C-alpha cells in the first residue's frame, strides 16, 4: 500500500522542489495543497486549494485525504510581513500548525514534519545545534518558536519531526518570494547598485538539498529536531560576490553594509548557521557545494 503524503505550501520554493522530487516516486501518492490555484502545474499529484487560516478547511482536507505523512511547509515567510501583520502571522504560522497537527492526530496521521527556521535563535553565537537555546529576534521567529513548542506538547500523540533550515535559495515557477541568488543576479545584470550585508553569518541552503533531506527524514521515519542547511558558512555579501565573479557581473555595483548601516524591517539574527551532523548521521542528509548549487539555480 503506497503512503499518502500531503505537502502544504506546495506553491512555494520548498513545496515545488518537493513536488519535483516526489511526483515520479512510485512509493508514494502525493497530495499538494496551497492557497488559490496550483502554480506548479505538472502531473503526478492531486492538488487542493485550501486557505490555512480557515480551520474548517484544514479539518475537511485531512478528513478527505487521510494522509499518512504531512509535510507542513506553508508559512507567512516574509519577515517584514510578520512584523506588519502580526495577527495574520500568528494565524498562519502558529495557529494553523496547531489545527493541522490536531487534525493529524484525529485522523491517525503517521508522521508530521514541520519546517522551521534559524530565526528562532538570537544570532548571538552562530553555528547552532538542535538543542541550543532559542530566543527569536523578530516576530516571524516568535511565531515559529510558538509552533515548535505546541508540537513538542503533542509528541506523545503524533510522530513529529521539526526541520529547521536557513537562507534557502533556488528557482521554481511563479515564485511568491525571491531569494538572494535570484535577486543579486537580477539587480547586477540590470546594472543596479545594491547594498549587501556582510555581517550576517549563514549556512545557505540549496532548496533541492533541503527537499531531499525532508524526503529522507520521512522515509526513515526519523523523529525529533533536525538542522538541514548547507555545509558552508557565508555572508550574503560573499554569496553575491561569488555569483558576480562566476557570471562576470560588475562588483563595483555592490556596497557592503551591516546592521548599523542597513536597516531591515524586522531584526535579523546576526550569526546563525547550523551544525548538520545529526541529520547527516540520522538519515544520510547530503549537501551540494554552494558553487555547484548556484550554477544549477542560475543556469
Ligand X SMILES: Cc1cn([C@H]2C[C@H](O)[C@@H](COP(=O)(O)OP(=O)(O)O[C@H]3O[C@@H](C)C(=O)[C@@H](O)[C@H]3O)O2)c(=O)[nH]c1=O
Ligand Y SMILES: NC(=O)C1=CN([C@@H]2O[C@H](COP(=O)(O)OP(=O)(O)OC[C@H]3O[C@@H](n4cnc5c(N)ncnc54)[C@H](OP(=O)(O)O)[C@@H]3O)[C@@H](O)[C@H]2O)C=CC1
Among 40-48, 151-159, 163-171, 282-290, the segment contacting ligand Y (CB under 6 A): 163-171
Q: Which residue lies nearer to ligand Y by CB, 53 or 125?
A: 53
Listed residue (56, 63, 65, 54) closest to 7, CA to CA = 65
- Examine residue 200 and tell whether it contacts ligand Y (CB under 6 A): no
Among 14-22, 25-33, 93-101, 188-196, the segment contacting ligand X (CB under 6 A): 188-196
Residue 215, number of CB atoms within 10 A of its CB: 20
Q: In whole angstroms, what is the distance from residue 294 CA to residue 299 CA?
A: 8
- Examine residue 293 and tell whether it contacts ligand Y (CB under 6 A): no
Task: List, in order, residues 6 or more apart from 181 with CB less than 8 Å away.
Answer: 169, 170, 239, 243, 294, 297, 298
Q: Can you name the residues that pair with 46 across neighbouring β-strands?
A: 31
Contacts with ligand Y in 15-74 (CB under 6 A)?
15, 34-36, 51-53, 73-74
CA dihedral 290, 292, 296, 299 (to 10 degrees): 110
Q: Which residue lies nearer to ligand X by CB, 195 or 221?
A: 195
* Among ligand Y, ligand X, none, partner that 142 touches (CB below 5 to 8 angstroms by kind): none
Question: Which of 5, 6, 7, 14: binder of ligand Y (CB under 6 A)?
Answer: 14
- Examine residue 9 and tell whether it contacts ligand Y (CB under 6 A): yes
- Give phi and psi for 72, each to the nearest 5: -95, 90
- Examine residue 197 and tell whether it contacts ligand X (CB under 6 A): yes
- Examine residue 119 and tell whether it contacts ligand X (CB under 6 A): yes
Closest residue to bound ligand Y by CB: 12
# chain residues binding ligand X, by CB under 6 A: 15
| Residue 105: alpha-carbon gap to chain centroid | 23
- Examine residue 77 and tell whether it contacts ligand X (CB under 6 A): yes
Amino acid at each position: 500500500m503506497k503512503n499518502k503524503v500531503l505537502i502544504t505550501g506546495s506553491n512555494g520554493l520548498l513545496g515545488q522542489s518537493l513536488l519535483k522530487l516526489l511526483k515520479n516516486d512510485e512509493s508514494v501518492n502525493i497530495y499538494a495543497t496551497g492557497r488559490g490555484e496550483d502554480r506548479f502545474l505538472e502531473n503526478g499529484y492531486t492538488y487542493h486549494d485550501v486557505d490555512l487560516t480557515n480551520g474548517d478547511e484544514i479539518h475537511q482536507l485531512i478528513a478527505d485525504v487521510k494522509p499518512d505523512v504531512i509535510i507542513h511547509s506553508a508559512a507567512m515567510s516574509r519577515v517584514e510581513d510578520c512584523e506588519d501583520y502580526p495577527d495574520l502571522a500568528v494565524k498562519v504560522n502558529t495557529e494553523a500548525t496547531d489545527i493541522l497537527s490536531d487534525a493529524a492526530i484525529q485522523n491517525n496521521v503517521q508522521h508530521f514534519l514541520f519546517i522551521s527556521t534559524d530565526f528562532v535563535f538570537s544570532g548571538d553565537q552562530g553555528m547552532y545545534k538542535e538543542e541550543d537555546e532559542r530566543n527569536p529576534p523578530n516576530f516571524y521567529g516568535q511565531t515559529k518558536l510558538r509552533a515548535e513548542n505546541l508540537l513538542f506538547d503533542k509528541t506523545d500523540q503524533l510522530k513529529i519531526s521539526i526541520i529547521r533550515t536557513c537562507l534557502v535559495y533556488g528557482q521554481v515557477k511563479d515564485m511568491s518570494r525571491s531569494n538572494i541568488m535570484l535577486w543579486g543576479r537580477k539587480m547586477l545584470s540590470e546594472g543596479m547598485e545594491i547594498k549587501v550585508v556582510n555581517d550576517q553569518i549563514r549556512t545557505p541552503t540549496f532548496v533541492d538539498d533541503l527537499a531531499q533531506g525532508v524526503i529522507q527524514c520521512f522515509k526513515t521515519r526519523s523523529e525529533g529536531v533536525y538542522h538541514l542547511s548547507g555545509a558552508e558558512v557565508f555572508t550574503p555579501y560573499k554569496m553575491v560576490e561569488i555569483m558576480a565573479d562566476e557570471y562576470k557581473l560588475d562588483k563595483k555595483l555592490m556596497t557592503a553594509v551591516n546592521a548599523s548601516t542597513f536597516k531591515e524591517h524586522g531584526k535579523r539574527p546576526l550569526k546563525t548557521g547550523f551544525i548538520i551532523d545529526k541529520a547527516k548521521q540520522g538519515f544520510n542528509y547530503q549537501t551540494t557545494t554552494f558553487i555547484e548549487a548556484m550554477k544549477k539555480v542560475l543556469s
